[in-house]
Amino acid sequence: MKYAYYPGCSAESSARDQHSSSIAVARALGIDFIEIKGWSCCGSTPGHQTDRVLAASLSVANLILAKDMGLDIVVNCAACYNRLKTANYEVKNHPEIRKKVKNAIGRDYDGSVEIKHMMEVLLEDYGKESLQNAFTYSLNGLRVASYYGCLLVRPQEITNFDDPENPQSMDNLIRAMGGESLDWPYKVECCGNSLSLTTRSDLVVSFSDSIIGMAKAVEAECIAVACPLCQVNLDLRQMDIKRQTGKQYDMPILYITQLMGLCLGLSRKELGLEKLVVSPSPVVKAIAATVL
């Protein structure tokens, strides 16, 4: 299996661990991720808050590069995934947007590239049974709260990925690794990351407190995420929560690819575990004690 890989800007900064763990997991499974040469920012929140055509043009420029490679595109960042999917939807369903994007970037694009999140590749293309056979370690009943956030599965008519209210993709991966995927009500709540760009960091702390607090209430041993914006918020904001409320959660926030990498026997360095603020050591030790 071969895909055009779009890292996104976070892969070179705050989400280096998501990037490295994804590449390591793909390599271990024999999946070929070919990084798109000359990729550029998808525009993210500043793009679509500024101008609809600008936002679409920034993403379409990357989709054209993938089309020139003759490959479908795989994305890890939920924000990038959402923006690329939205741009594809715009040019396919709104001829006036397609024309304006063509004028902006100098090339026409028909929306023909398929955009997949890595979880789609793993579950739909590689297959759950093949994954189970590849794992050499197990989560061994580890209680995991799957947190999707708000950008990965919504709006459904654009992402068309999973149930927008009760998604199961990450839960299925956790079960495939032998973990207990918890049924909890905050799996698609917004962590407030875009508010970090404003002066309302107080709301971001409040949102993060609610999400982590609910995970703690259902006795989660860690939270699994697929979005670098969510990961940074939930991991880093625990210090602010303690400072402002006195609550000390010590809740490990791991990328789903980091959990998979541990079950594949990959090293902490390959998975970027040293970058996490809240220590993942309890999770690492629990997995290391199992051999399938």
In this predicted structure, the answer to whether residue 45 has a pLDDT above a threshold of 60 is yes
242 confidence band (pLDDT: 50, 70, 90): very high
**123 lies in some domain:** no
**26 lies in some domain:** yes
* Co-location of 65 and 106 in the same domain: yes
**42 lies in some domain:** yes
Element (DSSP H or E) covering residue 73: strand 73-75
- Would you state the pLDDT for residue 49? 62
Q: How far apart are CA 183 and CA 180, in angstroms?
A: 9
187-216: pLDDT as tens digits: 999 998 777 656 688 899 999 999 999 999
145 and 121 in contact (C-beta within 8 Å)?
no
* Co-location of 135 and 276 in the same domain: yes
Domain limit, last residue, from 117, 147, 172: 117
* Co-location of 179 and 280 in the same domain: yes
What CATH number has the domain bearing residue 251? 3.40.50.11810
* Co-location of 104 and 139 in the same domain: no
**122 lies in some domain:** no
Length of the chain: 292
Torsion, CA 221, CA 227, CA 228, CA 234, rounded to 10 = -40
To which residue do tokens 């609910």 refer?
214
- Would you state the pLDDT for residue 197? 58
103-130: pLDDT as tens digits: 999 999 999 999 999 999 999 999 999 9
What CATH number has the domain bearing residue 48? 1.20.1050.140
* Co-location of 227 and 268 in the same domain: yes
Report residue 70 CA to chain centroid gap.
24
- Would you state the pLDDT for residue 14? 85
User: Identity (one letter) of the amino acid at 271?
Assistant: L
* Co-location of 170 and 257 in the same domain: yes
**124 lies in some domain:** no
Whole-structure pTM over 0.85, yes or no? yes
Domain limit, last residue, from 117, 144, 171: 117
Domain that holds residue 179: 129-288
